[in-house]
Structures are given as structure tokens and as C-alpha cells.
């Protein structure tokens, strides 16, 4: 299982989940469930995703550290301000919110499995190895941050 750690770019996982959700909705049409206020919910989720995603990238750029998900050990700093006060992984949270918005847009009960799979996969194969690398690099300071701020929200 270690072969999967840090090996697949998170956006590829999102696209794979989104396509699987779409195909599932198409293949099992009997599970369609109308969502009242669908367009408002989808718009709100996308807006919040944008705030977290853009905020995270801007924070990384301000500190001139890498956003490369394959090499967390090359980070020159870890961010603790801005959206990182609410989530240790706001970029992944933004991707999750996009998948939840897609599930709402599809209005399909089984599409809700896509975001669940994403959380499982990213937590196990992306976030856990990143946290190990950052803890090794930044030591007690990163450990303290991990105790104060939740992984997702």
C-alpha cells in the first residue's frame, strides 16, 4: 500500500471520483433524488471551495514554499495563518467541497460515495505521508500545530 502514498496527484483523484460519480448516476438512474435549492447549495459550496483553495495557494506563495503534493519534504515552511487556522488541509478541503457540490448537482444518492472515497483515499495516501514528512522536518512546532488545528475542519 505504500506504493500509493504520494503517487497520484490529488486533482487526478478528484477527476476520477467525479467521473465515477457521473457514470454511477447514469448507470443507476433509479437513485435520483431531487435536492431542493440545488443551485444555491452548489453555488455556496463552490464559493467556499474557492475561498479555501485560493486562500491556501496564496498563503503558500506568500511564504515561497512548494505546493507540490509529491514532495512534502521539500517544503521550506508550513503555513499556520489564513485558512490554515481552520484546516490543516484547505486545498484538499476545497477539492472535497467541489466533489460534494458535484454530488448535489447530480442529485444521485450513490454519487455521495465519491466524496467519502476521496476523504478516505486522500487521508490515507496523501495527508498521512505529508504529515509524517512535515513532522520530521519541523518537529515540535508542527506537532503543536497538528494538536490545535483539525485535519479537515
Q: For residue 128, give every residue at least 6 positions away whose Cβ sits within 8 Å of its Cβ, in sequence order, or none.
A: 5
Q: What is the structure's pLDDT at 37?
A: 97
Number of Cβ within 10 Å of residue 23's Cβ equals: 11
Q: Look up residue 108 and give its DSSP letter.
A: B
Residue 127, CB-side half-sphere exposure with 13 Å CA sphere: 18
Q: What is the structure's pLDDT at 153?
A: 93
- Give CA–CA dist 108/29, Å, rounded: 8
Q: For residue 144, give every residue at least 6 positions away whose Cβ sits within 8 Å of its Cβ, in sequence order, or none.
A: none
- pLDDT means over runs of 10, the chain (153 residues): 92 98 95 95 98 97 92 93 97 98 97 98 98 96 97 95
Q: Which three cell numbers stand for residue 12?
A: 487526478
Q: What is the structure's pLDDT at 2?
A: 86
Amino acid at each position: 500500500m505504500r506504493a500509493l502514498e504520494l503517487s497520484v496527484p490529488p486533482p487526478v483523484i478528484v477527476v476520477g471520483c467525479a467521473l465515477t460519480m457521473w457514470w454511477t448516476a447514469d448507470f443507476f438512474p433509479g437513485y435520483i433524488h431531487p435536492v431542493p435549492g440545488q443551485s444555491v447549495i452548489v453555488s455556496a459550496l463552490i464559493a467556499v471551495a474557492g475561498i479555501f483553495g485560493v486562500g491556501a495557494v496564496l498563503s503558500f506563495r506568500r511564504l515561497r514554499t512548494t505546493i507540490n503534493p509529491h514532495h512534502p519534504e521539500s517544503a521550506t515552511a508550513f503555513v499556520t495563518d489564513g485558512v490554515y487556522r481552520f484546516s490543516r488541509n484547505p486545498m484538499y478541503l476545497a477539492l472535497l467541497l467541489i466533489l460534494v457540490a458535484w454530488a448535489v448537482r447530480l442529485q444521485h444518492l450513490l454519487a455521495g460515495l465519491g466524496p467519502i472515497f476521496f476523504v478516505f483515499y486522500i487521508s490515507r495516501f496523501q495527508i498521512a505521508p505529508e504529515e509524517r514528512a512535515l513532522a520530521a522536518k519541523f518537529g515540535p512546532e508542527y506537532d503543536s500545530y497538528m494538536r490545535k488545528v483539525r485535519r479537515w475542519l
